[in-house]
Structure 1
Amino acid sequence: MRNSSLAGLTALALTGGSLLSLATPAQAADTTVRYVRQTSTACSDTGAGTLAEPFCSIAPAVAHVSAGQTVDIGAGTYAERVTIAESGTADQPITIVMSGAATLSGPTAGVVVDGQHDIALQNLRVAKTVEVPALDLRNASGMTVNAGSLLMGDAAAVPVVRLTGVTRSTLTKIVAKGTGLSSAVSMDADTTGVVVRSGVLISPTDAGLADQSVGIRIEGPDNTVLNSTVSGFTGAAIAVGPGAADTVVANNQVQGGAGVGIHNRGAARTAITNNNVRGRCLDGIRVDGASSGVSVQNNVLTSNGLFGQSYCDRSAEPGAEIGLYGAAAGSTVVDYNNTYHFASPSESAYSWNGTHLGLAAFRTASGQAAHDRDTPYSTEAEDSANSAAPGFQATDGAGNARADNPRRPDTGAGPIPWADRGATEFLGSPLAWLQTKLDLGTRTVTADASGSTAGYVPITSYVFDFGDGTVVTQDKPVASHVYQTTGSYTVSVTVSGSDNRGNTTSQRVSMLRRTGTIGLLSLVNLRYAATSSVGQVVAADKTIPGADAQFDLADAGNGKVAVLSRAAGRYLVNSGAILPNSQAVTDEETFDLIRNADGTVSLRWSGRGYVGVNASAQLVATATAIGTREKFYRVNVADADRSFKAGANGRYVTAESGGTKPLIANRTSVGPWERFDLVDLGNGQFGLFARANNRFVCADGTGTKPLIANRTSVGAWEKFALLPNADGTVSFKATVNSRYVTADSGGAKPLIANRTAIGPWERFTLGS
């Protein structure tokens, strides 16, 4: 058997077979990911690059990578300039990804690719580079750069991204910033087939900081800039050079800066389409030199060339929204743009060979701009673009498909006459609105989305997510939900129409444990604090603790309370005054509930000011100490609006003659004079607050005289203990003399606190 096996191996070698095929299983077991973990205690630059034994630096990992493999760079600051010397293939690119908070940092930090192809760079982060570009691509193709933050040092005078001889490549979601930049992205004359998409490129606006810097400089043919934001730069935000034929500049947001917005410097067949250009010191869009066949369509331009900003050089020639110069003027198509040159009509919105013209005069001079509009209104861009314009994109700058507003006429041209001008399509999406109301007693939240506004079609669906796993989908805008436990939850609603466009909004709510429901009777004016709706200041202006004057006390933890207005369904918060505005409880919605020696209570907001009643009866939290205005009597709502039926004669106790006469049990029915609020004074003590005249009942003459409702505050004579009896009745003991209140002479005489024991005349039935 051994001989036949050896013979087989010999035969394989003699016939040109490869013994390497026998090593394939071991090779296939090698990882396709090379890990870099600077912070790992097991890292080594001579190791295997596995997650268990990662590289400490990026360069060794890149040196070992090949087609189809990935270098995964973890958190850390790497003072490296990384050169990628290997290529991938279209099907198996080399991928370099910064998966953690990793940054290449230092004067020469960055990434270089020279002569390679099919390489993907993801989440690239470079900072403080000064001497060299953060990303330097030379003679490369098939490059995919997806998401990156490239921040140049203050003294840098080189491009952030330099492309030299690059083809067939895409740069997406690149953020490039720096002071004194020559350009953010520079493409030389040999760079072609490159797409810059969804970039954010920023440099200072001040003309004195850099000489003729350019956001995106394009010198080669057949390149594209889409959906990007370019701000600042003193020469131009986007400059298209003479050799850059067939360039597309579409769906971009070009913002304030000292130079031109979009400058076509002699290039042929450039499509400048659906851009927003605003606040440039010189022309918003300028076409000059030997430019030919240029299309300027569907753009929205506002307030360019006005020198209204401090960063503009006022010694320069004022610009226009759109300027055509020299030979370029005769071959440039200008149409379907919106221009607004600060004042309307904009008599200098256009420049024709240096002569500033209004729209009508420009039409006459150029034969162009038949469908341009001079308007400050963004809605005038809606459903009015030319979708057949060169460079027109089926989606807008945010990737949204074109949408038709059925309520506007379609005045555009081309296959999509409802497309919009500018970089952003009006989507007609609904706008979600949400208001929540809490009921701590039942742990119920009511979510009201009825204030949502429809888009192009009516809202047909409301999807409520209550944050505890409960999702309710319905065609009505109001939904309620009961939480099984207390806690904080995020409530959201998504509204949508039949066109499936939707919008979502959410609110955080706190469903806390209720510890009581009370009214707050102000000592200073003997009125109850009340509010009825969100945004209405709490004011002490009610004579009874009705629905608008009832507040839930909730356990906010650490001995503090939150106070919920039952009418508004919101927690109280100090916003200059006390308002029922909060759905969720933070420190700003908490109070210390303080019991004062006289039986009143006070509220201290968030450990700061005490809540008091100002001269307008509004509740404010400004006092640094407790005075009369900062004191309230606590009335438990269950003890409010009570009546007392005397056991002596079965008649109701009344504050006779509107409280001007002593209390007596002589009424057969209950009216306003027969109603009282029991004020909780703590330690089992109560005050009797007569509804007849809003005065406290007093055991007058230290109890030697009949009870009468004639006091504006509670002292010793106005305190009573409420004692339950076995038969369900109650008795009152005056604190001032420790005697029981009796309906004297079987109720024929006024009530008086002069009995030492409880008999039938000292028993009363509480009524609601």
Structure 2
Amino acid sequence: MRKSSLAGLSALALTGGSLLSLATPAQAADATVLYVRQMSTACTDTGPGTLAQPFCSIAPAVARVTAGQTVDVGQGTYPERVTIASSGTPEQPITILASNVAILSGATAGFVIDGQHDIVLQNMRAKGAVDVPALDLRNAAGITIQGGSYGMASVSTAPAVRLTGVTRSTLRQLVASGLALVGGVTLDAATTGVVIRSAIVSSGSTFKTADHSIGIRVDGPGNTVLNSTVGGFTGGGIEVGPGAADTVVVNNQVSNSAGVGIHNRGAAGTAITNNTIRDHCFEGIRVDGASTGVSVQNNVLITNGVGSQQHCDPSADSTAVIGVHDDAGKMTVIDYNNISQPGMNYAWNGTRMNLDAFRTVSGQAAHDKETGLTRDHEDSANSAAPGYQSTDRAGTARADDPAVPNTGAGPVTYADRGATEAVGTPIAGIDATPDLGNSSVAVDASASRAGFVPITSYVFDFGDGTVVTQDKPVASHVYSTTGTYTVSLTVSGSDNRSDSASLNVSVLRRTGTIGLLSLVNLRYAGSPAAGLGMMADQAALGATAQLDLADAGNGQVALYSRATRRYLTNGGSVRPVTTAVTETEKFNLLRNADGTVSLRWGGTNYVGVPSGTAQLTATATTIGTREKFYRVNVADADRSFKAGANGRYVTAESGGTKPLIANRTSVGLWERFDLVDLGNGQIGIFARADNRFVSAESKGTLPLIANRASVGAWERFTLIRNADGTVSLKAAINARYVTAENAGAKPLIANRTAIGPWEKFTLG
């Protein structure tokens, strides 16, 4: 009780003190929060602990704190071992919390609570301790550890967390870890009424050190290990000692040790329920010694007792998955467990046997299953088993899968075995197809999977404020401005379970649609599927080789594969991968002096063709033949020429071995040409008959023929569009027009100085 003001003045008079000298300490003592800010220039360990003048270290603040107060620790690395020597009350606990990343570091780093009660330690961290635990609780009660991590040095000789004589306390969501820990969390024989909930206890042990290290060791009665994750220890995962009567081990995931997963070592009344136990060298669950009244139910055991694993002693092959030894069979219940596959999975008094034999000798395991079926654990647990929880390790309520028969026992016949309940949440699957021509995107959620009930709602958020809710999986949207948007999808069933997914989509301005014809082999570069590398292996500019050029800003382009609906990205090879454009998807499209183009990525590397059967890469630092491509606008591919002189189509006669002549009445392969954009208004004519360029042979003095593997001066033409809709071709080498000589009776030749009927063609 606070003294009256009169009493305070009387005390002051008796001591001869100054009223002013007592003012500051009184304010600090009355403060609700004491602040520790190592990084503050105003901090002092002798000050009031206000936010304006905080403590520099944790220990001075803890020495000052009283019931109902909080020590707020700010960011920093504190070379301290802090002993909390004051107590709170159940109604007004002492709270030590980290409001930022605060780490106690050093060979003795950690917290000690000895003989105190009603203290909350929240989100604190300690690392590097060697011979003392990072968290040491002794003869304490009403302690709550909420979050935080407690890590040990690799040469540690003490467990990370040690409880000695602790009662009515909770360790929730803490992390206890270290390389080759000698122990994770230990509860001695005088510790009772402690709940370890949702903790992560792990060792990075190589299984060659820290002999017989245990993740969580319980030696006192009435304690609970719930919803936690334990793994990586030499001796085993969770061990319950002889004096630990009425221990509850429920909803835990226990994995990867060189010993036993969960070992009940002589304790009475232990409930080992709904755990998932996997990858232990010896038994997944072992009950031995003088154990009585033990319940082993609803557990899922996967790949235990396998000595062939790298970290195991080969003798582990002689162990079972569930073993009951010594006098432990007295009143022990083994039932409703799943083992991943059939075999000699059980042991009774040291003898390995199969499930049928175990049932005969023990009278137990009537509902155990040996199966690898992924859904066989669903809706088949005993909800009346000791320690059973109405929620799984993640806090999810039990759910009934309508596709699975309810074969469980107890009041909830559809509870699942193992630590995780299958809840039938739908899975959102999202794909998007941007259309650069009209600045739109089509979002397809057809890949979404229903949970226990069908999907009834699809909510599409297009990232620009437009949200569409409907019962169909496909939606489209037109954007008013170009850019990159985050498109989100939420799918829901009639049971209100939902899932969400998102992806980024770039809707950019299209500046053209092209094909890239490799100079090195005169094949188009394309990819048949998203994620597969681009290869210059296609004879024609088909769908898989068509690329939209998108304006990526700052003079750069992105290339969008129409076939795969993905932008090309450079990730070791050039592949159509993403729906969004980042720096990895940006290129410079450069025009070379010979009319070819090159793609530069990252400002230094050029895209090249290693070979016709190899994926395009962006590794060259200079432009050579393999880094050159001819640009073909898609609209100019696969064209034909009908001569005005005779109404016949121009053909690369005899597969290109003879001069071009206008003598065909229909269009086949020999009559098809791709018009290559050479820049400066010039084109090359690429004959599909033989994949060669048309040349004005001998500087135009001889007929045109498709026999060149690259474009030189003789292979350049200007395409002139006439007023009547026809086109004419002008050879660059002699500035003469191409004519269908003698009304088309003779081969085409570039020898006319003016355009007449014989020099006109209809472009098809």
> Which category describes the TM-score, using the shorter chain as reference length?
0.7 to 0.9
Match of 1:702 among 682, 699, 702: 699
Judging changes above 3 Å, is the alpha-carbon distance between structure 1 residues 656 and 85 closer, same or farther for their aligned structure 2 residues?
A: closer
Match of 1:227 in 2: 227
Match of 2:589 in 1: 593
Match of 1:202 in 2: 202
Helix, strand or coil at the partner of 1:362: helix
1:603 aligns with 2:586: no
Structure 1 residues 16-415: aligned runs within 5 Å: 31-179=31-179, 181-205=181-205, 208-314=208-314, 318-340=318-340, 345-347=342-344, 349-415=345-411
Match of 1:5 in 2: none
Judging changes above 3 Å, is the alpha-carbon distance between structure 1 residues 766 and 591 closer, same or farther for their aligned structure 2 residues?
A: farther
Match of 1:446 among 442, 445, 464: 442
The alignment-based identity, stated in percent, is 65
Q: Which amino acid aligns with 1:138?
A: R
Give the unaligned 5+ runs of structure 2: 11-18
Note the alpha carbon deviations across 1:436-471, whole angstroms, 9 max, x for none: 223223232322221222222222222333334433
Q: 1:335, CA displacement in angstroms?
A: 0.9
Q: 1:653, CA displacement in angstroms?
A: 6.8
Structure 1 residues 718-757: aligned runs within 5 Å: 718-722=715-719, 732-741=729-738, 752-756=749-753
Helix, strand or coil at the partner of 2:123: strand
Q: Distance in 2 between matches of 1:425 and 1:89?
A: 38
1:579 aligns with 2:569: no
Match of 2:474 among 471, 478, 492: 478
1:679 aligns with 2:676: yes
Q: Which amino acid aligns with 2:597?
A: V
Q: 1:81, CA displacement in angstroms?
A: 1.7
Further displaced range: 303-312 or 615-624: 615-624
Contact 1:465 1:492 in 2 (8 A): yes
Q: Which amino acid aligns with 2:476?
A: S
1:431 aligns with 2:432: no
Judging changes above 3 Å, is the alpha-carbon distance between structure 1 residues 74 and 526 closer, same or farther for their aligned structure 2 residues?
A: same
Judging changes above 3 Å, is the alpha-carbon distance between structure 1 residues 716 and 181 closer, same or farther for their aligned structure 2 residues?
A: closer
Q: Which amino acid aligns with 2:403?
A: R
Contact 1:612 1:622 in 2 (8 A): no
Q: Which amino acid aligns with 2:177?
A: K
Contact 1:678 1:687 in 2 (8 A): yes
Note the alpha carbon deviations across 1:483-532, whole angstroms, 9 max, x for none: 33343333333333222333333333333443332122334554433444
Judging changes above 3 Å, is the alpha-carbon distance between structure 1 residues 662 and 74 closer, same or farther for their aligned structure 2 residues?
A: same
Q: 1:392, CA displacement in angstroms?
A: 0.4
Q: Distance in 1 between matches of 2:203 and 2:610?
A: 54
Q: Distance in 2 between matches of 1:687 and 1:58?
A: 78
1:522 aligns with 2:518: yes
Q: Distance in 1 between matches of 2:206 and 2:690?
A: 73
Further displaced range: 221-230 or 716-725: 716-725
Match of 2:13 in 1: none
Match of 1:502 among 490, 494, 498: 498
Q: Distance in 2 between matches of 1:561 and 1:256?
A: 50
Helix, strand or coil at the partner of 2:459: strand
Judging changes above 3 Å, is the alpha-carbon distance between structure 1 residues 541 and 188 closer, same or farther for their aligned structure 2 residues?
A: closer
Contact 1:743 1:761 in 2 (8 A): no
Judging changes above 3 Å, is the alpha-carbon distance between structure 1 residues 62 and 315 closer, same or farther for their aligned structure 2 residues?
A: same
Q: Distance in 2 between matches of 1:564 and 1:651?
A: 39
Q: 1:197, CA displacement in angstroms?
A: 0.8
Q: Which amino acid aligns with 1:116?
A: Q
Q: Distance in 2 between matches of 1:312 and 1:643?
A: 73
Note the alpha carbon deviations across 1:619-648, whole angstroms, 9 max, x for none: 5667776555543221123444556688x8
Contact 1:250 1:272 in 2 (8 A): yes
Helix, strand or coil at the partner of 1:330: coil
Contact 2:461 2:467 in 1 (8 A): yes
Judging changes above 3 Å, is the alpha-carbon distance between structure 1 residues 697 and 425 closer, same or farther for their aligned structure 2 residues?
A: same
Note the alpha carbon deviations across 1:284-337, whole angstroms, 9 max, x for none: 222223322111111122333332234434568943222222332122111111
Further displaced range: 493-502 or 381-390: 493-502
Helix, strand or coil at the partner of 1:380: coil
Match of 1:565 in 2: 561
Count of aligned residue pairs for this structure pair:
743
Q: Distance in 2 between matches of 1:470 and 1:28?
A: 53
Root-mean-square deviation over aligned CA pairs: 3.6
Q: Distance in 2 between matches of 1:586 and 1:491?
A: 16
Helix, strand or coil at the partner of 2:375: helix
Contact 2:728 2:755 in 1 (8 A): no
Q: Distance in 2 between matches of 1:613 and 1:207?
A: 47
Helix, strand or coil at the partner of 1:120: strand
Judging changes above 3 Å, is the alpha-carbon distance between structure 1 residues 565 and 204 closer, same or farther for their aligned structure 2 residues?
A: closer
Q: 1:82, CA displacement in angstroms?
A: 1.8
Judging changes above 3 Å, is the alpha-carbon distance between structure 1 residues 512 and 30 closer, same or farther for their aligned structure 2 residues?
A: farther
Q: 1:369, CA displacement in angstroms?
A: 1.2
Q: 1:378, CA displacement in angstroms?
A: 3.8
Contact 1:740 1:762 in 2 (8 A): no
Contact 2:726 2:763 in 1 (8 A): no
Contact 2:537 2:612 in 1 (8 A): no
Q: Which amino acid aligns with 1:679?
A: V
Q: Distance in 1 between matches of 2:528 and 2:289?
A: 69
Judging changes above 3 Å, is the alpha-carbon distance between structure 1 residues 671 and 66 closer, same or farther for their aligned structure 2 residues?
A: same
Contact 2:429 2:446 in 1 (8 A): yes
Q: 1:50, CA displacement in angstroms?
A: 2.7
Q: Which amino acid aligns with 2:356?
A: A
Q: Distance in 2 between matches of 1:568 and 1:605?
A: 21
Q: Distance in 2 between matches of 1:317 and 1:614?
A: 52
Match of 1:689 in 2: 686
Contact 2:429 2:448 in 1 (8 A): yes
Helix, strand or coil at the partner of 1:379: coil
Helix, strand or coil at the partner of 1:35: strand
Q: Which amino acid aligns with 1:428?
A: G
Contact 1:721 1:733 in 2 (8 A): yes
Q: Which amino acid aligns with 2:711?
A: V
TM superposition score normalised by structure 2 = 0.87
Q: 1:478, CA displacement in angstroms?
A: 2.1
Contact 2:642 2:648 in 1 (8 A): yes
Further displaced range: 154-163 or 689-698: 689-698
Q: Distance in 2 between matches of 1:316 and 1:497?
A: 47
Note the alpha carbon deviations across 1:338-370, whole angstroms, 9 max, x for none: 235xxx6422x2222222222111111111111
Q: Distance in 1 between matches of 2:665 and 2:156?
A: 95
Q: 1:698, CA displacement in angstroms?
A: 3.0
Q: Distance in 2 between matches of 1:534 and 1:559?
A: 26
Contact 2:429 2:445 in 1 (8 A): yes
Give the unaligned 5+ runs of structure 1: 1-8, 15-19
Further displaced range: 226-235 or 168-177: 226-235
Q: Distance in 1 between matches of 2:638 and 2:347?
A: 80
Helix, strand or coil at the partner of 1:422: coil
Judging changes above 3 Å, is the alpha-carbon distance between structure 1 residues 186 and 666 closer, same or farther for their aligned structure 2 residues?
A: closer
Q: Distance in 2 between matches of 1:440 and 1:189?
A: 71
Q: Distance in 2 between matches of 1:613 and 1:209?
A: 50
1:551 aligns with 2:584: no
Q: Which amino acid aligns with 1:720?
A: F
